[in-house]
Structure 1
Amino acid sequence: MLFERATVCSYCLSTLLMRISVIVPTLNRHEELLTLAQSLQEQTLLPDELVVVDAGTPSDLEQKLTEALKSSSISLSYTTSEAGTSLQRNVAMELAQGEFFFFFDDDVVPEPNYIEASMKCFDMKYNPPVGGVLGTFSSPYKMSTIRSTYAQIFRLTHTTPGDSAKLMSSGAVRWLIEPSEVVRVPVCSGGRVVFRRECFEHELWDDFLPGYTMSEDVEISYRIAKKWTLVQTPDAKIFHDKSENSRDRHAERLARLLFSRFYFFNKNLDKTPKHIGAFVWWNIGTIGLSLSSTIFGQQKASEIAKGMLKGYKLCLNELQKSK
């Protein structure tokens, strides 16, 4: 798709005056969410509202958030729902009043200029216009040389320095650690991104896997990128707190990884020899990486086998449904 080289223009008044909603799906992470709420009050450009969709056990979280935000101009919209990252985000969008939706995980802490730096990108001159802006981790995970090389060989998701993000033919993503400037990206990560409200006029987050979904952010941003430009800015930094309240065991994560990659491939990619070959190669690499963890005692072989069986069973069921 042809597009103009981006140039930064002045911060347009129309953008500045537009209403901003922060959307956070949460599940039993009260302290982390309260820390996020505090960081929102320290933003150089305050959001208008915080929309929280809580899938955790019954608690006084709403009261705690109300108390935390009472001295700010940020309003709170709180509701509960069943657990599911995509489901909770869709519920939140129905409640949100803003023209821009900032999607955060419940265990991140944006730096004070995060919202302002992200909003400036919507005034950059691209064709089609900028529809989504991805932030940059302040303490990104950096792979070892061996792990990175392995990921590149098997077309697995990995991070890289430089300015060249890529959605690979396998459906995996090469994420940027920190671009040198605002750059175009093919897809976005759901816990550190802002989209225009218009992006969701005909799109919703796909709740294809109940509970903690994987790659739902890649899936929806891939669809959005067909009509809008997506960019990543190094100026909007965010810290990922990596909560110890983990969602799943290794077997469950492996099953969800295998299925989510298949689902994206089956739904969105052309079944060309290139894509099919890359997808098969990705599976070989993913299973090989999982099996290697048993050699070093990091995981039990039974956990790997359990994850593989469940993951491929989900893939088979989905394939039968789509026929």
Structure 2
Amino acid sequence: MTISVIIPTYNRCAQLTSLVDAVENQNHKEFELVLLNDGSSDNTRETLDRLAKKSTLNVKVIHSQNLGRSKARNLAVSKSSGELLVFFDDDVRPNPDAVYEHLSIHQQHDSPVIAGGPYYYDNSKFTNSFNTFRKYMEDQWYSKDSTSSQSDSLRINGGNFSITREAFDKIGGFDSRLTDKEDFKLAYDAFHYHNIPTFSAPKTWVYHDDFRNLVDYIARGRESRIEEQKLRSLDPSIADFDPNRFQIEAPKSLKFRLAKRIFRSTPILQLVEKALDIRIVPQKIAFKLYDICITVNVQYLK
């Protein structure tokens, strides 16, 4: 099975060298690497051209106008040739066996599947206590079992998953109406309309080099939640599949209303993070405060 590793990128030229290095260090090297510059305004064009020129891999660089995540990925797929499509984001570093393990999952199944791998964090790059909390929080999303299993939640990381070209084309690719959550909709459409299941692929793990602060994390989370509501309008059946996921009305309790009043203030959030960075507060309490901040701002939009 031939492989295309597809990486769209936007304004992250500083991270591209470490990403491409990680891809070049794959133990399984029989693949083409498709790098798509999604209309970046930094030095991404020059960086990609330089990296491609010196690479020992079969590299294809595409420069396009800014299309957004869904359209950019679809364009990259249309320019690729592999029978298996492996998607990485521009802020990850795949482990040396990631591509091989993606291939292995598909070779184990006679019918099409989606294989989704986990994001982990490189502790050596942590800059504050919020990074530590985020690792703690996100590690709980993944099973400790290293074997692959079918995912009932259909949640995949768009920056680390794979699908055969045949299945991708059958589904219709990423929904170009979405600027976020296009990965979940792809998995949902695959399963509910084409009987293509999603499998966890723990051994395909990548390091996720995203170390934004609390305020930026919340802003990004709210953008994602807003787009999630758009998902429901595009296909109401999605809300029936996972009702809790689409609940945005906050609890009416006095305690929650008070928390919302306090922690929806950007200066307060900045103060919380600065105070917790001193690490005088016990970690359990610090993590609880971070959890409250995220819940009142991201989980509940109203």
TM-score (norm 2): 0.70
Correspondences of 1:1-323 after superposition (within 5 Å)? 18-54=1-37, 55-57=39-41, 59=43, 60-69=46-55, 72-125=56-109, 129-139=111-121, 160=140, 175-185=141-151, 186-202=154-170, 203-209=172-178, 213-226=179-192, 227-242=195-210, 253=220, 255-270=222-237, 278=244, 281-284=247-250, 293-294=263-264, 297-298=268-269
Shift of 1:271: 8.4
Distance 1:89 1:223, change over 3 A: same
Q: Aligned residue for 2:279?
A: none
Q: Distance between the aligned counterparts of 2:234 and 2:87, measured in 1?
A: 24
Q: Distance between the aligned counterparts of 1:73 and 1:250, measured in 2?
A: 34
Aligned partners of 2:85 and 2:163 also within 8 Å: yes
Shift of 1:93: 0.9
Distance 1:109 1:256, change over 3 A: same
| Counterpart secondary structure, 2:57 | coil
Q: Distance between the aligned counterparts of 1:97 and 1:299, measured in 2?
A: 47
Q: Structure 2: any 5+ residue segments left out of the alignment?
A: 123-130, 272-293
Aligned partners of 2:116 and 2:156 also within 8 Å: yes
| Counterpart secondary structure, 1:179 | coil
Please identify runs of 4+ aligned residues in structure 1 that moved more than 4 A.
140-144, 248-252, 274-277, 287-292
Shift of 1:183: 1.0
Shift of 1:74: 2.3
| Counterpart secondary structure, 2:115 | strand
Aligned partners of 1:179 and 1:233 also within 8 Å: no
Higher strand share: 1
Q: Distance between the aligned counterparts of 1:271 and 1:90, measured in 2?
A: 22
Q: Distance between the aligned counterparts of 1:139 and 1:251, measured in 2?
A: 18
Residues 145-170 of structure 1, C-alpha deviation per residue, up to 9 Å, x if partnerless? xx97xxxxxxxxx763xxxxxxxxxx
Aligned partners of 2:149 and 2:199 also within 8 Å: yes
Aligned partners of 2:52 and 2:61 also within 8 Å: no
Letter in 2 for 1:92: A
Distance 1:105 1:97, change over 3 A: same
Q: Distance between the aligned counterparts of 2:222 and 2:120, measured in 1?
A: 30
Q: Aligned residue for 1:7?
A: none
Q: Distance between the aligned counterparts of 1:271 and 1:102, measured in 2?
A: 25
Shift of 1:143: 5.8
| Counterpart secondary structure, 1:298 | helix
C-alpha RMSD over aligned residues: 3.6
Letter in 1 for 2:174: W
Residues 254-304 of structure 1, C-alpha deviation per residue, up to 9 Å, x if partnerless? 5523421212223334388x679646644426x97865533681169xxx9
Q: Distance between the aligned counterparts of 1:201 and 1:190, measured in 2?
A: 17
TM-score (norm 1): 0.66
Aligned partners of 1:107 and 1:243 also within 8 Å: no
Letter in 1 for 2:155: V
Higher helix share: 2
Aligned partners of 1:28 and 1:56 also within 8 Å: yes
